[in-house]
Chains A and B, each alone.
Chain A
Amino acid sequence: MWTFGRKIAAGFTLAFLLLLGIGGVSYRSISALTSTSQLVTHTHQVLEHIAEVLGLLKDAETGQRGYLIAGDETYLEPYRTAIDGLPKVAKELRDLTADNANQQKRMDEAEPVIAARLAVLKRVIEVRREAGLEVAAKDIRLGEGKRLMDDLRRILAQMEREERDLLKQRAGEAEAASSGAKSTIIYGTAFCLVFVMAAGFFITRSLSGQIGAAVRHVQSSSAELQSAANQQASGAKESSTAMNEITTTISELLATSRQIAESAQRVAHVAEETSAAARSGDTTVQKSHESVNSIKRQVDLIVTHMLDLGKKSQQIGGILEIINELAEQTNILAINATIEASGAGDAGKRFAVVADEIRKLADRVGGSTKEIRVLIEEIRAAVNTTVMATEGGSKAVDLGARQFAEVTAALRQITELLGTTTAAAREIELSTKQQTTAVEQVNIAVSDVAKAAKETEVSSGQTLQTAGQLAGLSRDLTRLIQATASA
C-alpha cells in the first residue's frame, strides 16, 4: 500500500514531468520562432542594404547631374557621400549574403558594375570640371552610365526578388512555429490542468478514505478504551470489595490453620497407637501363616495318600480282570461240561450236576467280580473326588497362605505408612504454624493490594477521561476530513 507522501510525491512528479514536457516543447517552438524571426530580420536587412546600394548610386547620379548643370561643387555633396558609403554598404551586403551562393554570385556580378558606374560618374565629373558641360554631356550621351545602371538595377532586382521569396518563406515558417507554440502551450496547459485536477481528485479521495478509515478505527478504539476503562473502574471497585472479603477470609483461615495444627497433633498421636496395633496384628498374622503352612503340608500328604489309593485300586481292578477272565473260562468249561454230560446220557447226569454246580459257582464268581468292579469303580470315583477336593483344599490353603502373606505385607505397609503418616502429621503441624505466619504476612500484603486497587480506580478514571478526549479528537478529525472531502 502507498503512503500519503508517496502518493503526493507521485502526483507532483507526474505534474512536474508534464510541465517539463510542455515547457520543453514550448521552448523549442519559441526557439524556432526566434530563429525564424531573426532570419526574417536578416532578410529585411539584406533588402534594406540592396535598396541602400541603389539609393546611394542614385544619390551619386543626382550629385553628378547637379554639378554638371550648375558647375557648383556643393552639388557634389551627395556624390561624395555615396562614394564614401557604397564600399561599406556593398561589403555589408556581401557579408549578409555570405551563406547564399546565388546572392554571392550576384554580388560578384554587381560589384564590378558598381565600380564601373562610379568610375563613369567620376570621369564625367572630371570632364565637366576640366572641359565643360558640353563635353561632359557628350560623354553622357554615349549611354554607358545608363547601361551600367540598368545592369545594376537588374542584378539588384534579382537579389531583391530572391530575398522577397526568402522573406515570404520565412514568414510562413515563423507563422507555423508561432502556431505550433500556441497550440503546445494551450493544449499542454489544458492537459496538464486536467491531469493535475484528476490527480488531485484521486489523491484527495484516497487520502480522505484512508484517513477516514483510520479515524473511524481510532474512534472505535477510543470507544473500546472507554468501555475498558469503565470496566477497569468497576473491576477496581470489585477488587476493593473482594480484598475486604479476602481479609475476612484470611482471618478465618488463620483460625482454621490453628485448628489444623491441633488436629495434626492428635492425628500423630492416633497414628502412633495404630502403628503399635498393626505391629501386634503382624505378629498374630505371622503365627496364623505358620498354621496355614502346616495345614498345607498335611493336605499335600493326604493328596499323596489318595493318589496311592487310586493306584492300588487300579491294581485291584487289574487282578479282578484276571479273576473275571478265569470265571468266564470256568463258566465256558462248565457249559461245555454240561453239554458233554447231556450227550453222555444217564451216565453223565451226575457229572452234569457237578458241572452245573461249577457253572453256578463260576456265575457267582462272575457276579461277585462285577460287584467288586462296581465297588472298585466307586472307590476310584470317590478317590478321584477326594483327590480333586483335596487339591481344591490345597489350592484354597495356598490361596489362604498367599492372602496371609498379603495381609502380612499389608500390615507391614500399614505400619510403614503409619510411620509416614506420623511424620507427615508432624510436618503438617509445623507447616500449619508456618502457614499461620505466612497468612499474617498475606494479610498485610492484601491490605497493600487494596490500596493499590483504590489507586487503580483513580487511574482508571483518568484513563476514562483520556479516552473521552481521544474520542473528541477523532470526531474533530472526522469533521475536518468530511469538510475537506465536501470542499
Chain B
Amino acid sequence: MEDLLAIRVSRDAYAIRVSEISGLATDRKIVAFPSPIPELLGVAGIRGALVPVYSLAMLLGYNAETERTRWLALCGTEDPVALAFSDFEGYVRVPLTQLYAAEQKDVARTHVEHVVRATDMVRAVVGIPLIRKTIQRRCANDGVSKER
C-alpha cells in the first residue's frame, strides 16, 4: 500500500508520497527576500525553524501561481525545505498496483516517475527527491556564478 497526498498545482492534479515528506503545514507567513532563484518564495517559520519555501508550481515548470499557496509540504529533516502549493485535496492510500511508470515528455514530467489512479482520476506522483536535487542544483549553480 502507498500513502499519498492528493494536491493541485496550477489546477492540475498531482500526488506526493507521504513517505517522502517530513510534514504538512498551512497558512504560514512567508517572508520574501531578494534571491536570484525565482522559485524561492521566501522563508517561513515551521516547527521552530526558518525553512526556505519554494514554489512547487515553478519547480514543475509552470508560471508563478496566481492563487494563494497556503499549503506547505516540508521535505527533509536536516536541511528542510518547504514546497508551496495551492490546494490539498486529501489523504489517499492506494495499493502499489495502482502506481504506473510515467512517460518522460516535458519539463514537468522530469520530476514525475509514476502516475497513480486514485479517486477516479489519474494523478502524476511528484518525486520529492528529484525536486530536492533540482533545488540543490539551482543553488549550486547560483553559488558558482557568484564566485565568478
List residues of A whose CB falls within 8 A of some B CB: 328-329, 331-332, 335-336, 338-340, 342-343, 359, 363
Listed stretches B20-28, B95-103, B113-121; interface member:
B20-28
- Are B24 and A335 within 8 A (Cβ)? yes
* Cross-chain contact B26 with A335 (CB below 8 angstroms): no
Total chain B interface residues with beta-carbon distance under 8 A:
12
B91–A339 CB distance below 8 A: no
Q: Are A335 and B25 in contact (CB under 8 A)?
A: no
In the bound assembly, the distance between CA atoms of A338 and B92 in angstroms comes to 13
Q: Which of B19, B25, B26, B90 contacts A363 (CB 8 A)?
A: B90
How far is A98 from B23 in the complex, measured between Cα atoms in Å?
183
Q: Is the CB of A339 within 8 A of B25?
A: no
Q: Is B21 a contact partner of A359 (Cβ separation < 8 A)?
A: no
Q: Is the CB of B3 within 8 A of A332?
A: no
Main DSSP-derived SS at the B contact region: strand
The reply to whether A338 and B18 form a contact with Cβ atoms under 8 Å apart is: yes
New A-B contacts (20) at CB < 8 Å, excluding given A332-B26, A338-B3: A328-B26, A329-B26, A331-B91, A332-B24, A335-B5, A335-B24, A336-B23, A336-B24, A338-B18, A339-B18, A339-B21, A339-B22, A339-B23, A339-B24, A340-B23, A342-B18, A342-B19, A343-B22, A363-B90, A363-B91
The closest CB in chain A to the CB of B26 belongs to: A332
Chain A residue nearest to B20 in the complex (CB): A339
Distance from A348 Cβ to chain B, minimum over Cβ atoms (Å): 13
22 contacting pairs across A/B (C-beta < 8 A): A329-B26, A331-B91, A332-B24, A332-B25, A332-B26, A335-B5, A335-B24, A335-B91, A336-B24, A338-B3, A338-B18, A338-B91, A339-B18, A339-B21, A339-B22, A340-B23, A342-B3, A342-B18, A342-B19, A343-B22, A363-B90, A363-B91
CA distance A328 to B89 in the complex (A): 11
The 6 residue pairs across chains A and B that have the minimum distance between CB atoms: A335-B24, A336-B23, A332-B24, A336-B24, A339-B18, A359-B91
Q: Name the A residues within 8 Å of B90 (CB-CB).
A: 363
Interface centre among B5, B19, B22, B23 (most CB of A within 10 A): B23
Chain A residues, Cβ within 8 Å of B25: 332
Residues from chain A with a CB closer than 8 A to the CB of B91 are 331, 335, 338, 359, 363
Complex interface: chain B residues within 8 A of A328 (CB): 26
Give every chain B residue within 8 A of A340 (Cβ-Cβ).
23
Interface string of B101-142 (1 = CB under 8 A from A): 000000000000000000000000000000000000000000
- Given the known interface contacts A359-B91, A363-B90, A363-B91, the answer about A335 and B18 at a Cβ–Cβ threshold of 8 Å is yes
Chain B residue with Cβ nearest A352 = B3
Closest chain B CB from A331 CB (angstroms):
7
A338 and B5 CA atoms in complex are apart in Å by 12
Most B CB within 10 A of own CB, among A336, A340, A342, A363? A336
Complexed CA–CA distance, A328 and B5 (Å): 14
A341 to chain B, nearest CB (A): 10
Shortest distance in angstroms between A74's beta carbon and chain B's nearest beta carbon? Answer: 194
The distance in angstroms between the C-alpha atoms of A328 and B26, with both chains bound, is 10
User: Inside 8 A of A359's CB, which chain B residues have their CB?
Assistant: 91
Residues of B close to A343: CB separation below 8 A: 22
What are the interface flags for B1-33 relative to A under an 8 Å C-beta threshold, 1 for contact and 0 otherwise?
001010000000000001101111110000000
Q: What's the Cα separation between A342 and B91 when bound, in Å?
A: 15
Q: Which residue in chain B gives the minimum CB-CB distance to A332? A: B24
Docked pose: A339 CA to B91 CA in angstroms: 12
Residues of B within 8 A of A363 (CB): 90-91
> How near does chain B come to A276, taking the closest CB pair, in angstroms?
78
> Looking across the interface, which residue of chain B has its beta carbon closest to that of A366?
B90
A326 to B46, CA, bound (A): 19
Q: Report A-chain residues with C-beta under 8 Å of the C-beta of B26.
A: 328-329, 332
- Point out the residues of chain A lying under 8 angstroms from B23, CB to CB: 336, 339-340
Note all chain A residues with C-beta closer than 8 A to B3. 338, 342
CB distance from A328 to the nearest CB of B (A): 7
Min Cβ gap B76→A in Å is 12
In whole angstroms, what is the CA distance A335 to B21 when docked? Answer: 10
Q: Smallest distance from the beta carbon of A134 to chain B beta carbons, Å?
A: 201
Chain B residues near A332 (CB-CB < 8 A) = 24-26
A79 to B25, CA, bound (A): 204
Complex Cα–Cα for A343 and B91 (A): 18
What A residues does B18 contact at CB under 8 A? 335, 338-339, 342
**B82 vs chain A, min Cβ distance (A):** 13
Chain A residues with Cβ below 8 Å from B19 are 342
Cα-based distance from A331 to B19 in the complex (angstroms): 17
Q: Scoring B residues 67 to 101 as 1 if CB is less than 8 Å from chain A, else 0, what string do you get?
A: 00000000000000000000000110000000000
* Nearest CB of chain A from residue B118's CB, rounded to whole Å: 14
Question: Which B residues touch A336, using CB under 8 A?
Answer: 23-24
Quote the shortest CB–CB distance from A370 to chain B (angstroms): 11
- A340 CA to B25 CA in the complex, in Å? 14
List the B residue with the shortest CB-CB distance to A333. B24
Nearest-neighbour CB distance to chain B for A260, whole angstroms, equals 90
In the complex, A343 Cα to B18 Cα: how many Å?
Answer: 11
A368 to B49, CA, bound (A): 35
Q: Which residue of A lies closest to B19 (CB)?
A: A342
Name the distance in Å between A363's Cβ and chain B's nearest Cβ. Answer: 7
Which residue in chain A gives the minimum CB-CB distance to B77? A343
What's the Cα separation between A340 and B47 when bound, in Å?
Answer: 13
Instruction: Closest A residue to B3 by CB, please name it.
Output: A338
CA distance A363 to B88 in the complex (A): 13
- Scan residues 26-70 of chain B and give those whose CB is less than 8 A from a CB of chain A: 26
Which residues of the other chain, A, contact B24 by a CB distance below 8 angstroms? 332, 335-336, 339
